[in-house]
Amino acid sequence: MRTMTQTTRLSDFSQTEHDRIYRSLRTRIMHGQLNPGQALTLRAIAQEFDVSMTPAREALRRLGAEGAVTVSNSGRVATPELSNERIEELAALRALIEVELASRDLPRAHMALIERMRMINGAVAEAVAHHDVVAYIKANLEFHRTLYLRAQAPAMLAMAETVWLQLGPTMRTLYGKLQRSESPQGHRLIIAALQAGDEPGLRLAVRSDVTQGLRMLADGR
């Protein structure tokens, strides 16, 4: 018979395991390492992470609550396949949330932040040059997250990250189609507006950057 201490330890271990699986899958989905509509099975997840079905199921439950995976009537779990209407909706959300985050950041922007963002944009350019879609998405999100962290609005940033998460697989498709040859002009405009302390210019640059590509994808379907 298990003691209360043993039961607590088992519960803590299961919690740790499911959190590890959740974070790993969440990162993969957000960075576009999985295709839209890609199936995720409990058995495959449990085998990959060398765990029982229970933590794998809990990790998928958490991802489902964030919209990172969908569950069909038959119980099939997969990454989202977004309709054009849903892409437009998420693009609009990004414009609302991220423009406000950038605006709140501006009074706290300083040269160290601007230099850091230039460095990250260099990583974006390198990913473009190598046609590395996953590295591009990762560096692009790091660029935006670095800017928004200064806004000191954690609830808004969490909302933005949930949108990024739902868009991850679709962003993979988008950047694969666009075949960019240089880093986004919007990033350079964002950096220039920060350096100039130009709030209207910053808001416009962020809005254009976060919506243009998604709308191109929707229009090109």
Residue range 82-111: mean pLDDT, rounded:
93
Residue 86 pLDDT class (50, 70, 90 cuts):
very high
Closest CA to 94 of 217, 220, 215: 215
Strand partners, 70: 78
Residue 71 pLDDT class (50, 70, 90 cuts):
confident
Residue 72 pLDDT class (50, 70, 90 cuts):
confident
Say how far apart CA 169 and CA 58 lie, in whole Å.
Answer: 21
- 125-148 b/e with 16+ CB inside 10 Å = b? bebbeeeebbbbbbbbbbbbeebb
Domain boundary among 54, 78, 102: 78
- pLDDT value for 218: 62
Supply the CATH number for residue 19's domain. Answer: 1.10.10.10
Q: How many domains does the chain have?
A: 2
Average pLDDT, the chain: 88
Residue 73 pLDDT class (50, 70, 90 cuts):
confident
Residue 220 has pLDDT above 70, yes or no: no
- pLDDT value for 15: 66
Domain boundary among 78, 108, 132: 78
Residue range 81-105: mean pLDDT, rounded:
93
Say how far apart CA 165 and CA 143 lie, in whole Å.
Answer: 16
- Residues 145 and 185 placed together within one structural domain of the fold: yes
Q: Name the 3-class secondary structure at 197.
A: coil
- Residues 120 and 215 placed together within one structural domain of the fold: yes
In tens, the pLDDT along 177-213 reads 766 666 678 999 999 999 999 999 999 999 999 988 6
- pLDDT value for 221: 53
Domain boundary among 78, 108, 123: 78
Say how far apart CA 23 and CA 159 lie, in whole Å.
Answer: 17
Say how far apart CA 203 and CA 187 lie, in whole Å.
Answer: 12
In tens, the pLDDT along 1-48 reads 445 444 444 445 456 888 999 999 999 999 999 999 999 999 999 999
- Residues 195 and 166 placed together within one structural domain of the fold: yes
- Residues 114 and 161 placed together within one structural domain of the fold: yes
- Residues 96 and 63 placed together within one structural domain of the fold: no
- Residues 29 and 93 placed together within one structural domain of the fold: no
Closest CA to 213 of 66, 39, 37, 32: 32
